[in-house]
Amino acid sequence: SNGMDGLVSLEPAPALAYNTEETIAEVRRLWRLVDRPNLMVKVPATPPGIPAIEQLFAEGININITLMFSMAHYEAVSQAYLQGLARCSNPQPITSVASFFVSRVDTYVDRELEKIGTEEALSMRGKAAVANSKLVYRRFKEVFSGQEFARQRERGARIQRVLWGSTSTKNPDYSDVKYVDELMGPDTINTLPKETIDLFLDHGKVRDTLNKGVAEAKQALNDLKKVGIDLDAITEQLQVDGVKAFRDSFDQLLGALEEKCRQFR
């Protein structure tokens, strides 16, 4: 795969998510410690994470940018990638993915639509996440077919693929492969739990869906705004909640390991 596939992601302590300098220092430490070309280190797309991401790309480190929920997050991340590549003496080995979280958007937006409660609002349930993702994919194609990346491609740089995360269906009223069937397109990755893989193998359909229905996706987001959905505010809150969830899980894991160590002393 010429270094594009077979990568493993490693997560620094989520407590660093809002500290630029500490994130840079910890990612450098992990990169040196593991010392493998197929390592990707996770960095969340928080406001302090963005300058860290650019600096780490400038140093030639593979990064998996996580906790992206909005177009604003994608714009910041893709620009950090381009600027980091431009500063890197040799961008050829760098591999990166922009991990865009999907189903959590519908979960949050649907809850808000149910609070609004009108027939129009209720008819929009289950539309926000895929529409949001399709517009991000369209922007991804624009960024990596543009002049700024063309200069880096000439230096051997690779595109930063979009990775769809959080793609198992949470709402039983929706197709159990909704976020697989509706998010297929070139240069993307979909990280799936085994249960969703099995469901897709049973009744999923392989087809290019990301390049279709883009105008409808834009209209869907406009309609959501008209009924009172503030998607920008929702996606910012989802990122904050995501950092907290990652931190809680990380702390719980460390606590479990410490307890095991005490048992064997």
Find the catalytic residue in 42, 127, 134, 178: 42
127 catalytically annotated: no
* Paired residues of 163 in beta bridges: 99, 189
Nearest-angstrom CA–CA distance, 227 and 116? 8
User: Phi, psi (5° rounding) for residue 41?
Assistant: -105, 135
Nearest-angstrom CA–CA distance, 56 and 62? 8
Nearest-angstrom CA–CA distance, 147 and 170? 40
Buried b / exposed e over 191-214, threshold 16 CB at 10 Å, is: ebeeebeebbeeebeeeebbeeee
**Phi/psi class of residue 126: alpha, beta or left (left: φ > 0; alpha: ψ in -120 to 50)?**
left
Query: Which are the catalytic amino acids?
Result: 42
